[in-house]
Amino acid sequence: MSQSNPPGFGVTIRTLLIDAGIVTRMGNPDWTSLARRMHGVNYESLRKAVVAERAPSEKIMTAAAQALGVKPTVFVEYRLLKARRALDPDHVGWSAATKALNRWEGKG
Protein backbone atom coordinates (compact mmCIF):
# COMPACT_ATOMS: atom_id res chain seq x y z
CA MET A 1 0.00 0.00 0.00
CA SER A 2 1.43 3.34 -1.08
CA GLN A 3 2.28 5.69 1.77
CA SER A 4 2.16 8.82 -0.42
CA ASN A 5 -1.55 8.33 -1.07
CA PRO A 6 -2.70 5.63 1.35
CA PRO A 7 -5.99 3.87 0.64
CA GLY A 8 -9.01 4.48 2.81
CA PHE A 9 -10.66 2.13 5.27
CA GLY A 10 -12.75 0.24 2.72
CA VAL A 11 -9.85 -0.61 0.42
CA THR A 12 -7.52 -1.43 3.31
CA ILE A 13 -9.93 -3.74 5.10
CA ARG A 14 -10.85 -5.48 1.84
CA THR A 15 -7.17 -6.21 1.19
CA LEU A 16 -6.66 -7.43 4.75
CA LEU A 17 -9.67 -9.76 4.49
CA ILE A 18 -8.44 -11.29 1.27
CA ASP A 19 -4.88 -11.62 2.61
CA ALA A 20 -6.25 -13.35 5.74
CA GLY A 21 -8.26 -15.78 3.62
CA ILE A 22 -11.60 -14.56 4.99
CA VAL A 23 -13.34 -14.94 1.69
CA THR A 24 -16.41 -16.52 0.15
CA ARG A 25 -16.22 -19.52 -2.18
CA MET A 26 -15.98 -17.04 -5.04
CA GLY A 27 -12.92 -15.40 -3.47
CA ASN A 28 -14.67 -12.19 -2.44
CA PRO A 29 -14.25 -10.73 1.06
CA ASP A 30 -16.60 -12.43 3.53
CA TRP A 31 -18.02 -9.35 5.26
CA THR A 32 -20.57 -11.36 7.23
CA SER A 33 -17.86 -13.55 8.71
CA LEU A 34 -15.82 -10.50 9.65
CA ALA A 35 -18.81 -8.78 11.26
CA ARG A 36 -19.41 -11.87 13.40
CA ARG A 37 -15.80 -11.64 14.67
CA MET A 38 -16.12 -7.96 15.54
CA HIS A 39 -17.49 -7.76 19.07
CA GLY A 40 -19.99 -4.95 19.51
CA VAL A 41 -20.19 -4.08 15.79
CA ASN A 42 -23.07 -5.14 13.58
CA TYR A 43 -22.89 -5.94 9.89
CA GLU A 44 -24.75 -2.81 8.79
CA SER A 45 -22.37 -0.49 10.66
CA LEU A 46 -19.41 -2.28 9.11
CA ARG A 47 -20.97 -2.08 5.64
CA LYS A 48 -21.57 1.66 5.91
CA ALA A 49 -17.95 2.25 6.96
CA VAL A 50 -16.59 0.05 4.16
CA VAL A 51 -18.56 1.81 1.41
CA ALA A 52 -17.82 5.25 2.94
CA GLU A 53 -21.46 5.94 3.67
CA ARG A 54 -20.18 6.84 7.14
CA ALA A 55 -16.70 7.48 8.43
CA PRO A 56 -15.36 4.45 10.28
CA SER A 57 -15.62 4.98 14.02
CA GLU A 58 -12.78 4.20 16.39
CA LYS A 59 -14.86 1.27 17.66
CA ILE A 60 -15.20 -0.21 14.17
CA MET A 61 -11.51 0.26 13.37
CA THR A 62 -10.28 -1.28 16.62
CA ALA A 63 -12.74 -4.18 16.40
CA ALA A 64 -11.75 -4.86 12.77
CA ALA A 65 -8.07 -4.72 13.63
CA GLN A 66 -8.54 -7.10 16.55
CA ALA A 67 -10.59 -9.52 14.42
CA LEU A 68 -7.89 -9.49 11.73
CA GLY A 69 -4.91 -9.66 14.09
CA VAL A 70 -3.41 -6.32 13.04
CA LYS A 71 -2.84 -2.99 14.77
CA PRO A 72 -5.54 -0.36 14.22
CA THR A 73 -2.85 1.99 12.93
CA VAL A 74 -3.03 0.05 9.66
CA PHE A 75 -6.04 2.28 8.91
CA VAL A 76 -5.13 5.82 7.89
CA GLU A 77 -8.40 7.07 9.42
CA TYR A 78 -7.30 5.71 12.80
CA ARG A 79 -3.95 7.52 12.58
CA LEU A 80 -5.72 10.74 11.57
CA LEU A 81 -8.12 10.36 14.51
CA LYS A 82 -5.19 10.01 16.91
CA ALA A 83 -3.46 13.03 15.34
CA ARG A 84 -6.60 15.17 15.65
CA ARG A 85 -7.01 14.15 19.27
CA ALA A 86 -3.37 14.96 20.03
CA LEU A 87 -4.10 18.53 18.86
CA ASP A 88 -7.41 18.85 20.73
CA PRO A 89 -7.02 20.69 24.07
CA ASP A 90 -10.41 19.36 25.19
CA HIS A 91 -9.12 15.84 24.72
CA VAL A 92 -5.49 16.00 25.91
CA GLY A 93 -5.28 19.31 27.77
CA TRP A 94 -3.87 22.66 26.73
CA SER A 95 -0.22 21.88 27.44
CA ALA A 96 -0.16 18.57 25.59
CA ALA A 97 -2.09 20.03 22.64
CA THR A 98 0.25 23.01 22.25
CA LYS A 99 3.30 20.73 22.53
CA ALA A 100 1.83 18.52 19.80
CA LEU A 101 1.13 21.60 17.68
CA ASN A 102 4.73 22.79 18.08
CA ARG A 103 6.03 19.36 17.02
CA TRP A 104 3.66 19.33 14.03
CA GLU A 105 4.80 22.82 13.01
CA GLY A 106 8.43 21.76 13.41
CA LYS A 107 9.06 24.05 16.37
CA GLY A 108 9.55 21.39 18.98
pLDDT mean across residues, the chain? 94
What backbone phi and psi angles, to 5 degrees, belong to 17? -60, -45
> Cβ atoms within 10 A of the Cβ of 90, count?
8
Q: What is the pTM of this model?
A: 0.88
- What's the average model confidence in pLDDT over 15-38? 96
**Is 100:86 a contact under the CB 8 Å cutoff?**
yes
Question: Per-residue pLDDT for 38 more than 90?
Answer: yes
Residue 107 pLDDT? 79
Model confidence band, residue 2 (pLDDT cutoffs 50, 70, 90): very low
What backbone phi and psi angles, to 5 degrees, belong to 29? -55, 135
